[in-house]
Amino acid sequence: MTGTITLTMIKPDAVSKNHIGGILKMINDAGFRIKAMKYTQLSKEQAGQFYAVHQDKGFYNDLVEFMSSGPIVAAILEKENAIADFRKLIGATNPANAEPGTVRASYAESVQRNAVHGSDSDENAVIESDFFFSKVERF
Ligand code: DAT
Ligand code: MG
């Protein structure tokens, strides 16, 4: 059903600072159900593919380097209105602009090391979910 899933990653900065539990608690408390989850590390090639839409941006190489620098947690989250509600929960890309109480205001270090990913559309949620998870890994 469209509109009910989003793909998140807990990024290497947040994982390395032991914020997996705190972030998952915020996600569950906000009413998202975990449909799929894995602890993994992206190769540079995989990070480049995931963020290919940004390949012309000046920050792309640094982003790929950072996103492949350590382990991440990837998850498919389920909730009505998942995309918009999750973007609201995580806050602005730059934590300096993120509302108090959002995941990024609570845990992000900088615009690059910003703790979490959230899909930006229903279409990309499907593409990004398929990037990480097969059918038998979804519940
Ligand atoms: P979001 O992750 O909020 O969807 P985005 O899709 O515009 O933001 O960018 C993807 C990631 O790229 C973002 O989480 C962090 C990095 N990024 C974006 N803008 C940046 C910038 N101006 N400088 C450095 N990194 C940036
Ligand atoms: Mg984005």
Digit-coded pLDDT (tens) for 86-128? 999 999 999 999 999 999 999 999 999 999 999 999 999 999 9
Lining residues, ligand 1, CB within 6 Å: 54, 59, 63, 93, 111-112, 114, 117, 120
Question: Global pTM?
Answer: 0.97
Q: Which domain holds residue 41?
A: 5-137
Residue 117 falls in the annotated catalytic set: yes
Q: How many domains does the chain have?
A: 1
Residue of 89, 72, 4 whose CA lies nearest to 37: 72
For ligand 1, what atom is nearest to the CA of residue 120?
4
Q: Give the CATH number, domain containing residue 111.
A: 3.30.70.141
Place of tokens 């569950």: 28
Q: For the segment 33-91, what is each residue's pLDDT rounded down to a tens digit?
A: 999 999 999 999 999 999 999 999 999 999 999 999 999 999 999 999 999 999 999 99
User: Is the Cβ–Cβ distance between 11 and 116 less than 8 Å?
Assistant: yes
Question: How is residue 26 written in tokens?
Answer: 């915020």
